[in-house]
Amino acid sequence: MSSTYYADAMEIKSDLVKFMQDIIRIPSLSCEEGAVVNRIREEMLRLGYDEVTIDPMGNILGRIGSGPRVIAFDGHVDTVDVGDPELWDRDPHSGDIENGILYGRGTSDMKGGVASSVYAGALLKKRGIPDDVTFYATGTVQEEDCDGLCWQYIINEDGLRPDLVVITEPTSLRIYRGHRGRMEMEVHTSGVSCHGSAPERGDNAVYKMAGIIADIEKLNDRLEPRDPLGKGTVTISEIRSTSPSLCAVADGCTIHLDRRLTIDETEETSVAEILALPSVQTVGATVTVLDYSVPSYTGLTYPTRKYYPTWEMAESEAAVEAAMTAYKVAFDKKPEVGHWTFSTNGVATAGMHHIPTVGFGPGHEHFAHAPNEQTEVEHLVCCVAFYSALVDQFAKG
């Protein structure tokens, strides 16, 4: 790779890697991101960002430039927990590097994208940002708990609505242009409790749920794939019941559904599918779409519905074409283009607010939430090169 963008990124590699190690070594579960946000703020100020803001929700927004056209590079700073430490070959927060691989929780999902976007800003500051562009690097919170909530807040409350958003989740250095949506529902059956020694006197809510469980499994099997995002899915991720005691018939039973949404599947169509199941109608079960209402680390609560829309950008759209051109300029080869399997903050920027959105990030999706999470150091450098090239292409647009 001989482009100026890549060469410039290589010059700051050591500082980039050190910063990445620093933020990997700071645990930052959802709603506990304060320490890592402060470390990012410190780095942005050191690098000469024009403005660094931590909003009331706790998202950090670093700005360079003041042109009328706004591009934002988003990375969430929260991570999932490490799970069973025995499944890790090293300390999950070590930030160790071995044979060009950086290890630790959040390396792929997704502090690598955060570090690379912060340092793309450093390159822009060093060489000068195009006059008509404003660049933002954002470190957003609570994504693992509620994807897109942070950008709902940034757009609705901070008043920042970019012309282009780049999601820096892991893409294996491919350009991604969408993903399935998702939603969370509960199905509830009601019964009548009685003493467990004479169950015939009651009406067991768990038994009423049995047919619904079977019908949901069949529903998942018959959901059809739709190009280009493939098949939607529905699965039961939790079941629970209520009763006066463990010596009593259950008077309530609830299942939690994880519904993944492909093209043309919405909250309305998905609820209607469940309500139409014969077993649901026979027992008079209720279906509820859930809400998220959990305080951020700052104490701010910003409630939202747990419905995260599907989004997809056509390959012919200007944002995708700019990304493809930037890739060719940065790396002198044609990019691979695809879609994520999992969900990202794009559910808000593109799915809810219809802002042109593309994805490009270091690391690989299959390492997300897994033990021995890792990313290549080379990926961090390549992302800095691509992000800075994309800003220039965006300026030409």
pLDDT in tens, 262-321: 999 999 999 999 999 999 999 999 999 999 999 999 999 999 999 999 999 999 999 999
Average pLDDT over residues 80-103: 97
Buried b (16+ CB within 10 A) or exposed e, 188-208: bbbbebbebeeeeebbbbbeb
- Rounded to an integer, what distance in angstroms lies between the CA atom of residue 323 and that of residue 185? 36
Helix, strand, coil percentages for the chain (3-state, nearest 5)? 35, 25, 40
> Pairing between strand 164-167 and 357-359?
parallel
Kindly state the helix (H) or strand (E) to which residue 394 belongs, with its residue range: helix 377-396
pLDDT(368) > 80: yes
As a whole number, mean pLDDT of residues 81-99 equals 97
Coil, strand, or helix at residue 137? strand
Summarize the confidence of residues 171-195 as an average pLDDT: 98
Catalytic residue among 143, 265, 267, 373: 143
125 vs 134: CA distance, rounded Å: 11
Predicted confidence at residue 397, as pLDDT, reads 80
Task: Report the pLDDT value the prediction gives residue 130, as an integer from 0 to 100.
Answer: 96
Q: Are 263 and 192 in contact (CB under 8 A)?
A: no
* Tokens, residue 39: 């470390």
pLDDT tens per residue across span 17-34: 999 999 999 999 999 999
User: Which of 43, 74, 78, 203 is labelled catalytic?
Assistant: 78
* Mean pLDDT over the full length of the chain: 97
> What per-residue confidence (pLDDT) applies to 294?
98
What's the pTM value of the predicted model, to 2 decimals?
0.94
| Residue 78 designated active-site | yes
Which pLDDT score is estimated for 2? 56
Domains of the chain in start order, with CATH, are: 4-179+310-396 (3.40.630.10), 181-292 (3.30.70.360)
Among candidate residues 75, 90, 32, 26, the one with its CA nearest the CA of residue 371: 90
**Which band of pLDDT confidence, cut at 50, 70 and 90, is reported for residue 219?**
very high
Is residue 91 flagged as an active site residue?
A: no
